[in-house]
Amino acid sequence: MAIKSFKRYEKKFLLNKEQYNNLIPRLLQYMNPDEHCKSGKNYSIYNIYYDTENNDVIRHSISNPYYKEKLRLRSYNIPNSPNDKVFLELKKKINGIVNKRRVVLRLDINCYCFTFNTFIRFYNIYSTTIYC
């Protein structure tokens, strides 16, 4: 079970449809679609974020602190089997620099790890569509 680490700066921008349509062709001059983008089709990312019973993690994050962290379970498709691959990620942000550590697990192993920890529960499940 290998642990991968990512370090990057994140900037998020709100784009209208016209800005988006102008930006994508320009980006594709310098970037390649990732391995989840099959035949140029869009795909979704599914996340479960874990928090305490009092929602301490999200409350701290909303306060825009110097340091924050999130624990999440991520999948690039809807899991159909206990053997499907999922990613357990710890994301930390310190003064605007994001560091993410990720381990690949099977869904059944990951679910077992968290079901016995009753003080941790998920506070948000959402999917994000990635446009290719």
**pLDDT 10s digits, 17-62:** 999 999 989 988 998 887 777 777 778 888 888 888 888 888 998 8
Global pTM exceeds 0.85:
no
Starting at the edge strand found earlier in the chain, the sheet holding 85-94 runs: 3-9, 97-106, 85-94, 67-75, 43-52, 120-130
When pLDDT is cut at 50, 70 and 90, the band that residue 5 belongs to is: low
Q: Which residue would you say has higher pLDDT here, 67 or 129?
A: 67
103's CB contacts (< 8 A; 6+ apart) are 1, 2, 3, 4, 87, 88, 89
CA–CA distances in Å: residue 54 to residues 18, 31, 120: 41, 41, 10
Which pLDDT does position 115 carry in this prediction? Answer: 40
pLDDT computed for residue 6 by the predictor: 66
Label the pairing between strands 120-130 and 43-52.
antiparallel
Check if the beta carbon of residue 96 is closer than 8 Å to that of residue 76.
no
Mean pLDDT of the 125-132 span: 45
> CA–CA separation, 83 vs 50, rounded Å?
21
